[in-house]
A and B are shown apart, each in its own frame.
Chain A
Amino acid sequence: MASNGGFQNSGYNNDRPPSSTGSGDADVATDPASSSFFMNDYKKHDDLKQMLDTNKDNLKLEAMKRIIGMVAKGKDASDLFPAVVKNVVSKNLEVKKLVYVYLTRYAEEQQDLALLSISTFQRALKDPNQLIRASALRVLSSIRVPVIVPIMMLSIKESCNDMSPYVRKTAAHAIPKLFSLDPELKDQLIEVIEKLLADKTTLVAGSAIQAFEEVCPERIDLIHKNYRKLCNLLVDVEEWGQVVIINMLTRYARTQFVNPNRDDMIEEESEKAFYGSDEDEEKEDKEEEEDDKPKKKPYVMDPDHRLLLRNCKPLLNSRNAAVVMAVAQLYYHCAPRAEVGMVAKSLIRLLRSHKEVQYIVLSNIATMSVKRKGMFEPFLKSFYVHSTDPTHVKLLKLEILTNLGTETSISTIIREFQTYITSTDKEFAAATIQAIGRCASTIPEITDTCLNGLVRLMSNRDETVVAESVVVIKKLLQMQKREHKVVPQEHKDIIVHMAKMAQDITVPMARASILWMIGEYSDRVPKIAPDVLRQCAKNFINEEDIVKLQILNLAAKLCITNSKQTKLLCQYVFNLAKYDQNYDIRDRARFLRQLIIPGEKAGAFAKYAKKMFLATKPAPVLESKFKDRDQFQLATLSHVLNTKATGYREIPDFPEVAPDPTVRNVEVPTAWVADTNLLAQKKKKKGGKVKPAKKKSFYSDEESEEEDEDEEEEEDSSDETDSSEEDSSEEEEESDEEEDEEDEKPKKKSKKVEDEEDEESSEEVDSSEEEESSEEEDEEEESSDEEPQPKAKSTKAKTGATSNAAMLLDLDLTMSLGDTLVNQDAEEAEVGSTVANPAAVGKSDFLMPVLAQDMSSLSIGGDTGRSTTVTAPSFIPTKTYELLNRITGGGLSITYRFTRTVSIFSEKMASVELTLTNSSDKPVLNVKIGDKKLQSGMEIFDFPEIGNLGVGATVTATMGINFADTTQPATFDVCTQEKKFSVTVKAPVGEQIQPVNMAENEFDKQQGKLSGMNENSGTVDMATENTDIKTISRRVYEVANVVQVPSMQDNTYKFAGKTLSAGALVLISVKLDGRKAALKVNCEKMVIGSMLLKDLKDSMTKKD
């Protein structure tokens, strides 16, 4: 305990020896010393008691600090309880705080004494200071004394009506505490939770959901009414609450919405279902679904489902890894397949975080990558292993690389693996060999290459490497045999080679594998096999058990095929095994003997021995360890551990038919209040500028019109009938705010207990209330802006508000950002209080655009934007074009492809990735770009010179080309030290486009503008199998770098992009009518439009 010196000596050397809590060497070391001063110790504690009994605050504080030191260290300080508990009434805040800390630690052990403190807390619960109320509730609920359960219940009920959201938050935290103390109270607590769920402040939302999750996660019906509010508030909730809310909403979405991928699942029979844990069940589902296929309508996503996905998306940019991961799992479990891909990028970003974060994220990626290769394929290189990574991170990266391997990428992956084999971390090297084996088994094209490589590894110096390769080779050969029915002849020498090694390898697993193989393929090595058996028999007793079993197997098999040479050996081995220490081996020997060397009364089985032993065995399946991990919800503890953790809830399967979506409807006006509330809050956050809010339907325009109407009707009717659903405060807000302003206080007051509520009525407004009321005022003012109200009314409102106008402004000062002007302009503000926010007067001129933006972003649909933002490509083509032929290039061949990434050289350039391969017999030196023959307006940014391209080497380089929106090819020279070649990069029009996000209405508007000459249209006949959205979008993406615009029209698919150089919009729409598809391309650049149409037509009609 050398470090103890740093700790306050006073606090730590006084400790009594630990009674029950202590463990660990350090404590033991101090024991003898301190116990010898046992009496002295008591005296010291007396000293502390005396200090606590004085009325000097600083002595008390000193004593409390020392006691907390003991608590922190885990030493027992319980005998001081009586002395400490008295100080709960201390006026000194720090003493009080430390006493609270002490109480929560020891009250459970000293229940009777703890009761002494209760009345203090009860009194504090009525304190005008919200912090004191909150901390009293915290301690009261934390002391875990069963006797006070009724008091706790009462305080929670009272506090959840508190006007301070901070106190309400604390109340939400107290609920699970009480629940764990007395689960019988569940029903009462659910009532409280219901009330807190309806709370509209972001501060409370997270904690309320956490209480819900801990107490009554099965009561999903409580969420319905709050669903839309939660979705809309989500961005503003603090990050920890976000995690909890998203997790809960994931479960909600899985029970309330239908599977967005249902259509795909039917159409792609071959592809396995993504979701659900039980495959059989899934199959049944599929069959069922197929049965009713004819009458099935095309899938339309529930607008609420869309709302959730859309509101979670910005959280992918959170700084909190847990939030990003929560959104990722939401998308993985609940989003349409086409949209899941976008979470990949954010997950990759997390990989640069702390190693613990890296570990969890990687294990989640590993699971995702099993089913969705494509998602992470563009990020392949991010999973390359650094030599400094911890071993578990290395293994996970290896796993992912293996999962990602496809025909195209496998060669780079294998090359990367080769460097890993030489790693000094042998566990990692062995895992790499296994990974190679898995790649070889999944991708038949490379099996032979891998096999050869592995055979070469068998002569490696390192034993683990050799052993691992032997095991993997065995599996691969076995698999090949199944495919070709016999082991191809060329593998014979591998077996011979291995047989020769049998005696040198000491790793049991590898030895066993070799022996098994010799036995299995003994017909290939008839000469060597008996000799191997002879050598093994000699050394039988020294072998490991697993090897012994294989020797027995080998002996049995040889005895069947070649009994002349081996029968005696076989008998010898069986005899040795008969007396082995291991009963498995004895059993095996007995069993084999009966079959192979039958006695007089031969069993009926003996004659089938050959069939039994030399039957073709099923090949082992090499598959990812993460294959069945997806039975667990991603990002959970259970997923990481791969076992069910306590309290884990299965992620439910999507329902066949969506439950009634109207349960989520809330009465129209209320919804509006919630909305404006949000608006008001946002506005405050974003500069406090107010502009007449455009009246928006609750739903975005993206959703179909009729639905909106329906809903409003419903809501209207419910409005009439449904009177008392919402709690009183909401009603207040919804009806008319002016009266509310005056009414509210008395109402609230009446709820409170009289004793502390004196005449100070209007002055003693708590800041929280101020906030609320100011919000309301904002709303009010908005509404007055919206719909001109009688003047008299507004003046009345003003008089009502002026009494606390000063305070409201005060608050505005602290809450809103842009309005420091308020300070000097207080007068103006008061006068102009009809204008929502004084600052708007002063600064509206130059801040207006900001606001407009804010407003547009606030609309729930998020669809008003003229904002056409550039996004990442949805698809990265792998198609390569030849730039320089190997023959003409004298051994140097160059291919190129368009990466569709933003070129770092210039925004107007398309990134072109060149792959240079030297297939000549001497290195090519100084490869660079020489003369360029370009059309005007075109530009090329050279790739960096490649100094030396070795024999057989392949190098990739990236260059940027600005085609200036023409279809002219870029011609330039590629020079090497000796020669130069003139080459041409052709410009497919689709690659000169970059995807932009836009909303559907914007799309339609722009499409309307680009008519006439700018429009190119045509129809194509498509193969029936091509008519689903997935294929269509893939076909479009292959041709052009655009992004799909979410569309509400059936059978119409829209895509948007803009040209790289001039930024001219390119709009593509595909309207399906049976097998016919009407294609329309609108673009200002006519050439591009017509070319693109041609390319699209070609792509659409081509068959796979």
Chain B
Amino acid sequence: MIHSLFIINNAGDVFMEKHWKSVINRSICDYFFEVQSKAATPEDVPPVISTPHHYLINIYRSQLHLVAVVTTEVPPLFVIEFLHRVMDTFEDYFGDSSEATIKEQYVVVYELLDEMLDNGFPLAMEANILKELIKPSNILRTIANTMTGKSNVSGTLPTGQLSNIPWRRTGVKYTNNEAYFDIIEEVDAIVDKSGSTVAAEIQGRVDATVKLSGMPDLTLTFMNPRLLDDLSFHPCVRFKRWEAERVISFVPPDGSFRLMSYHIGTQNLVAIPVYLRHNISFREGSGGRFDVSVGPKQTMGKTVENVSLEVPFPKSVLNVTLTPNVGKYTFDPVNKIMVWEIGRIDPTKLPNIRGSISLQSGAPIPESNPTISVNFTINQMAISGLKVNRLDMYGEKYKPFKGVKYITKAGKFQVRT
């Protein structure tokens, strides 16, 4: 399936290659560079590129291009999903997946890549199996290894590989048994000029950090599970029980993982937690006026924090001179992007920014106003109204410490002006 993998940095340097079948010369990447040079931004590179004898499927992540070479028909999502999992694994192992880290850890990276695929077909992709095969290096272990002469590579097959729950290793022991669940919801919205919502969706996920000894069997129930009608689960969740009883029952992997993600679509009503009042105008000759204020709306009494606005101005804008009453703003004269960092919204003093825009002399006035991207975070609230009812544990005797956190964030939250 997957023949070879090349990792390329932004400068066009192929700094790592791995072949699972016969060797393919790295000159194959020239096709990729050719397409890349035509794209305006790295994001615009099409994910699938056809060359006379090979097909290049690539992803762009953490400033790196991962280019997989395939020679025959293969579901493209299969490869894309795999490449993203590779990056996820790197992040899991090394904390991040930047070029520097990968170069520094090249031996582990290479061992991982070798273990993940066999003949181009996934062999071991589960994080905890890999971690047993190839131990993540940390300073302590490095020292211990040099002292004892042991290595990072395991000599026995991880138990998970053969069991029906490959995601959990056996013999887990903690002194403090704890299970934390973060319910994170991102609001994607398009708000039109007049302030009414054109489209709004919620993308939610439940990230869990479970550090429990032994083989706990957890059951998570929600107050209002009917909200969730489109979701995806970690393989550990018993789907039948969800279908029948609307409870999430699972034996958790050890450590951090994404338990489930859900999507609340445009057909449902989505509360919009902030509003923008804006007045942006361009005038012939001099420039224009810019006046935007932000206020909370439908926040159920919670404060809106980490608010920031990003305004991509048209290319003909030279500079902006603005005065915010809260926070501060920066203007990038190259990309023409103005960012206004507000912080938390104080309802008694609504944040406002106003001032003038100067245009290039002679350039025609822009025909459209910029689309403003809004960022915010609201703690202690899930905007969909989802609430955890309780978490029960079976199969183990101890009392675990349990915690749930709710966060609402802005996803692609855009206001057209």
Contacts and interface: CB of A to CB of B under 8 A. Distances in A.
Contact of A424 (B47, B261, B314): B314
Contacts of A251: none
A386 B261 contact: no
Given A381-B198, A386-B414, A950-B194, A319 B261 contact: yes
A647 B114 CA distance: 25
Given A93-B155, A958-B269, A815 B76 contact: no
Contacts of B233: 317-319
Contacts of B125: 238, 240
A173 B118 contact: yes
A203 B162 contact: yes
Interface in A848-867: 850, 853-854, 856-857, 865, 867
B279 interface: no
A174 interface: yes
Contact of A771 (B72, B84, B162, B239): B162
Interface in B58-83: 58-61, 70-78, 80-82
A324 B73 CA distance: 18
Given A20-B25, A166-B157, A314-B239, A101 B111 contact: yes
A955 B61 CA distance: 39
B103 A817 contact: no
B214 interface: yes
A24 B241 contact: no
Given A65-B107, A73-B16, A243-B75, A953 B50 contact: no
A587 to B, nearest CB: 34
Nearest to A907: B226
Interface residues of A, number: 160
B194 A953 contact: yes
A729 to B, nearest CB: 17
A142 interface: yes
A902 B156 contact: no
Interface stretch (A349-357, A777-785, A1003-1011, A1036-1044): A349-357
A74 interface: yes
A55 to B, nearest CB: 13
Interface stretch (B176-184, B282-290, B365-373): B365-373
Contacts of A865: 244
A1088 interface: no
A130 B157 contact: yes
A321 B82 CA distance: 10
B165 interface: yes
Contact of B265 (A100, A138, A348): A348
B16 A72 contact: yes
A202 B195 CA distance: 53
Contacts of B46: 359, 392
B241 A320 contact: no
Given A8-B104, A352-B263, A378-B267, A944 B298 contact: yes
Contact of A94 (B21, B123, B153): B153
A391 interface: yes
B21 to A, nearest CB: 8
Contacts of A813: 170
B111 A7 contact: no
B376 interface: no
A539 to B, nearest CB: 26
Contacts of A681: 164
A389 to B, nearest CB: 8
Given A867-B243, A901-B268, A902-B268, A7 B156 contact: no
A6 interface: yes
B72 A635 contact: no
B354 interface: no
B140 interface: no
Contact of A820 (B53, B214, B269): B214
B7 to A, nearest CB: 9
A552 B149 CA distance: 86
Nearest to A144: B22
Contacts of A872: 229
A732 B245 CA distance: 39
User: Chain B interface secondary structure, helix, strand, loop or mixed?
Assistant: mixed
B162 A643 contact: no
Interface in A758-780: 767-768, 771
Interface in B115-142: 118-119, 121-123, 125-126
A392 B312 CA distance: 20
User: Chain A interface secondary structure, helix, strand, loop or mixed?
Assistant: helix
Contacts of A1101: none
B203 A899 contact: no
Nearest to B413: A386
A449 interface: no
Contact of A349 (B60, B152, B195, B263): B263
A641 B162 contact: no
Given A381-B266, A817-B251, A58 B75 contact: no
B159 A814 contact: yes
A582 B287 CA distance: 47
B59 A648 contact: no
Contacts of B214: 820
Interface in A345-399: 345-346, 348-349, 352, 354-357, 359-361, 378-382, 384, 386-388, 390-392
B159 A635 contact: no
Contact of B414 (A94, A387, A867): A387
A73 B314 CA distance: 42
B226 A902 contact: yes
A1 B106 CA distance: 16
B146 A58 contact: yes
Contacts of A240: 78, 82, 121-122, 125
A247 interface: yes
A869 B161 CA distance: 34
Given A390-B44, A461-B364, A357 B81 contact: yes
A433 to B, nearest CB: 14
A327 to B, nearest CB: 12
Interface string B1-37: 1000000010111111111011101110110000000
Interface string A139-150: 001101000000
A97 B146 contact: no
A346 B239 CA distance: 15
A979 B5 CA distance: 69
Contacts of A57: 149
Nearest to A953: B194
A641 B55 contact: yes
A684 interface: yes
B73 A645 contact: yes
B350 interface: no
Interface in A815-842: 815-820
7 contacts: A1-B13, A3-B15, A105-B19, A360-B47, A392-B44, A635-B77, A857-B241
Interface of B: 1, 9, 11-19, 21-23, 25-27, 29-30, 40-41, 43-44, 46-48, 50, 53, 55, 58-61, 70-78, 80-82, 84, 99-100, 103-104, 106-107, 109-111, 114, 118-119, 121-123, 125-126, 146, 149, 151-157, 159, 161-166, 170, 188, 190, 192, 194-196, 198-199, 201, 203, 214-215, 217, 224, 226-227, 229-235, 238-241, 243-246, 249, 251, 258, 261-263, 265-269, 298, 312, 314-315, 364, 367-368, 371, 373, 384-385, 394-397, 411-412, 414, 416
Given A356-B58, A386-B414, A818-B215, 8 more contacts: A3-B15, A357-B77, A378-B267, A382-B265, A382-B266, A423-B368, A818-B217, A901-B268
List the 9 shortest-distance A-B pairs measured between CB atoms, nearest first.
A647-B72, A422-B368, A857-B240, A94-B151, A381-B266, A381-B199, A7-B103, A131-B157, A356-B47
